[in-house]
Amino acid sequence: MSLNPSSSASVLPRNTVILLASLYCAQGLPSGLIAHSLPVLLRQHGVDLALIGLLKLLALPWLLKVLWAPWVDRLASPRLGHRRGWILPLQLTVISILVVLALMSPELLFGSSIALLIGLLLLINLAASTQDIATDGLAVRLLPERLRGFGNSLQVGGYKVGMLVSGSGLLLMMEPLGWHLSIAVVALLLVLMTLPIWRFAEQRELPFQAVQAESAVGPSLLWRHYRGLLMQPGMLFWLLVLLSFKLGDALGSPMIKPMLVDQGWSTGALGELTLLSSVVGIVGALIGGLLYSRLGVFRSLMLFGLLQAAGIAGMAWLAGSAASGVQVYTVALFEQFADGMSTVALFAAMMGRCRAEHEGGDFTLQASVQMLLAGLVGAASGVLAKALGYDGLFLLAGAAGLFGLVVVALYFRRWPVQSAA
C-alpha cells in the first residue's frame, strides 16, 4: 500500500492517517495503564503509597531514550525495514507482556509478585519509549512540511485516545469484566493497532538511505549524531525556543487540580472535568493541525502560544474568586484546547529541524530538552504556589508564556527561512 506523500501533497493519504494514528494510539495504551489505572488498582489492593509513588521512576526510559536513539536511526532490518524493523518487535513485546499480566491473578501481582510486576512494567516502558523513537522518525519521513501540523494532530490525538482507553476506560471495564478480561482487551486493542504497520511495505515506500546516515555504529555514534544536529544553523537558539515555549504551561498546569481540590471539588467532579478536558484537548490538536497548514510554523507558534499563555493566566481569575462550575469549565476547557493547538504546532516545528536518516534521534533530543525543563519547572510549581498564592502562580505562568513568544519572534527574525510552511 502506497503511503509516501509527495512534498506538494495537500491531503494525507488515508493509509498514512491510519498508520500514524494507530502507532501513536499504541503508545498511549500502555502509558494510560501504567500512569492512570495501576495506581488506583494498587491502592485498592493495599499497596503502600510510598511504593506507588516510586512507580513514577518506571518512566525513566522515556527520559533516557535520547541515549540510544541514534542507534535506532542507524541500525536497520534488511527484512522488515528500517523503522518497521524496530516497531513490530517492540509492539509484539508489549503485547506479550500484557498477555502475561492478563493470565496472572491481581492478588499475586499486587502481593508477593509485585517485584515481577515492576520488572514487567519497566520492560513495557523500555519497549514503548524505543518504539516512540522509531515512530517519530517514520512520521517525519512520511509527512511533507505543510501537513506536519495535521500529522502531529494524529500524534497528540492518537496518544490521548490510547491513554483514555487504558486509563479511564480500563477502570470502567474492571468492575464488569474483571482483571483478566480487561487487560486482555487492552492487549487485543494493541494487536489491532499493530496491523497497519504490519501491512506497511516500508522497504518499497521509504527505503533506507545509508549514504545519509552515520558511517559507523560504534560508541562514538552518540557524540557524532548529536554534534551534527547541534552544528546546524540556528540549532542552539532553537533549543532556547524549546525551553521557553511551553514554560508557562509547565509552571502552571500542575497546580490546577490542587487549586480545585482546595476549592472543594470532589474526586468524581474532578474526574468528569479531566475526561472532558482530554476530549477538548484532542479537538484542539486536530483544529490546530488543520490551521497549521494555512498559517505556517511561525504564525502558528505565535497565535497558539498566545492562546496557551492566556489560558494558563486565566486560571488566576478562578483562584481569586469563588468561581462557579460554569466558570471553571470554561477556563479549564479553553486552557486544554489551547494546549492541544500549541503542542501540535511545536511538534510540527520540531520535525522541520530533523535531518534525513537522523529523524528519530533528532526529534528525540528536541523532545527530551522540552520534557526535561517541563519536569524541573513543574517540580517547583508547588513551592511557588505556596509563596505567591494560586493567583500569583498562574499570572507568573502567563507571563512566562509571553516570554516564550518573544524568544520565538527573535528566532524567526534571525532565521526567517524557517517560518515557511
Span between the terminal Cα atoms of the chain, in Å: 27
Higher pLDDT, 96 or 275: 96
pLDDT tens profile 186-206: 999 999 999 999 999 888 888
Of the candidates 104, 157, 121, 419, the one whose C-alpha atom is nearest the C-alpha of residue 286 is 157
Give pLDDT, residue 333: 94
Q: Is pLDDT at 288 greater than 50 in this prediction?
A: yes
SS3 call for 224? helix
pLDDT tens profile 118-147: 999 999 999 999 999 999 999 998 998 888
Mean pLDDT of 201-225: 78
Q: What is the mean pLDDT of the chain?
A: 87
pLDDT band for position 373 (cuts 50, 70, 90) = confident
**Residue recorded with cell 498477555:** 99
Give pLDDT, residue 218: 77
Give pLDDT, residue 183: 93
Higher pLDDT, 229 or 53: 229
* 77 phi and psi angles, rounded to 5 deg: -90, 120
From residue 361, give the alpha-carbon distance in Å to each of 80, 121, 141, 145, 350: 20, 24, 13, 19, 12
Mean pLDDT of 12-37: 89
| Cβ–Cβ under 8 Å, residues 157 and 19 | no
Mean pLDDT of 408-419: 83
At 346, the amino acid letter reads L
pLDDT tens profile 395-409: 999 999 999 999 999
* 234 phi and psi angles, rounded to 5 deg: 80, 5
Euclidean distance between CA atoms 311 and 334, whole angstroms: 6
Sign of CA dihedral 166, 169, 171, 175: negative
Give pLDDT, residue 374: 77
SS3 call for 77? strand
From residue 354, give the alpha-carbon distance in Å to each of 173, 222, 294: 41, 16, 22
pLDDT tens profile 104-114: 998 888 888 88
Q: Three-state SS across 91-130?
A: HHHHHHHHHHHHHCCHHHHCCCCHHHHHHHHHHHHHHHHH
Q: Say how far residue 217 (Cα) sits from the centre of its chain.
A: 28
Higher pLDDT, 175 or 392: 392
pLDDT band for position 7 (cuts 50, 70, 90) = very low
Query: DSSP readout, 13-73?
Result: -HHHHHHHHHHHHHHHHHHHIIIIIHHHHHHHTT--HHHHHHGGGGGHHHHHGGGTHHHHH
| Cβ–Cβ under 8 Å, residues 316 and 252 | no
53-67, 86-100, 173-187, 209-223: range with lowest mean pLDDT: 209-223
**Residue recorded with cell 505567591:** 388
Euclidean distance between CA atoms 44 and 254, whole angstroms: 25
Q: Pull the grid cell for residue 373.
A: 525543563
Q: Is pLDDT at 298 greater than 70 in this prediction?
A: yes
**Please, what is the Cα angle at 59 between 53 and 239, to 5 degrees?**
125
In this prediction the pTM is 0.85
pLDDT tens profile 234-247: 999 999 999 999 99
| Cβ–Cβ under 8 Å, residues 158 and 21 | yes
**Please, what is the Cα angle at 127 between 122 and 125, to 5 degrees?**
35
* 76 phi and psi angles, rounded to 5 deg: -130, 150
Give pLDDT, residue 175: 82
Of the candidates 249, 197, 292, the one whose C-alpha atom is nearest the C-alpha of residue 3 is 197
- Percent of the chain at pLDDT > 70 equals 94
33-37, 54-58, 60-64, 133-137: range with lowest mean pLDDT: 54-58
* 415 phi and psi angles, rounded to 5 deg: -125, 70
**Residue recorded with cell 523513537:** 133
| Cβ–Cβ under 8 Å, residues 201 and 1 | yes
